[in-house]
Amino acid sequence: MKRNKILAICLGLILGSVACAARGERALEAPDQRFSIEQARAIALEKVPGEIRHEELEKEHGVWIYSFEIKPEGETANIVKEVNVRASSGEIVGIESEKDRTRS
């Protein structure tokens, strides 16, 4: 009986996630998110112009941030810049250089 309840709960969570994805909704949202990903993207690209290779909303050190991996304009080396933007304020909280994993 207990196993059936656990299976039912797991199935409900899976179906709920699939339903959100099917409707194009984001499954992950920060409780204090005041800036949309579009606004955060514009902030990141203003600081580091280039092509976005990857973006996500994540919680780091208890703070919700948008993380963007950007291939800087005119950069010939195999480097991307990771630009982190705080979801609650739009503040840039970090910029780091790292090796480009996508290699295009």
Whether residue 86 sits in one domain with residue 35: yes
Domain count, the chain: 2
pLDDT score for 41: 97
Whether residue 72 sits in one domain with residue 104: yes
Q: What is the pLDDT along the chain (104 residues), one digit of tens a residue?
A: 566 556 556 545 565 544 444 444 455 676 778 899 999 999 999 999 999 999 999 999 999 999 999 999 988 788 999 999 999 999 999 999 988 776 54
Lookup: tokens for 55 = 């973006």
Residue 19 is part of which domain span?
1-28
pLDDT score for 100: 78
Predicted model pTM: 0.68
pLDDT score for 7: 52
Whether residue 79 sits in one domain with residue 54: yes
- 90: CATH: 3.10.450.40
Whether residue 80 sits in one domain with residue 47: yes
Whether residue 89 sits in one domain with residue 49: yes
Q: What's the number of CA atoms in the CB half-sphere (13 Å) around residue 32?
A: 10
Amino acid 41 reads: R
pLDDT score for 21: 47
Whether residue 40 sits in one domain with residue 23: no
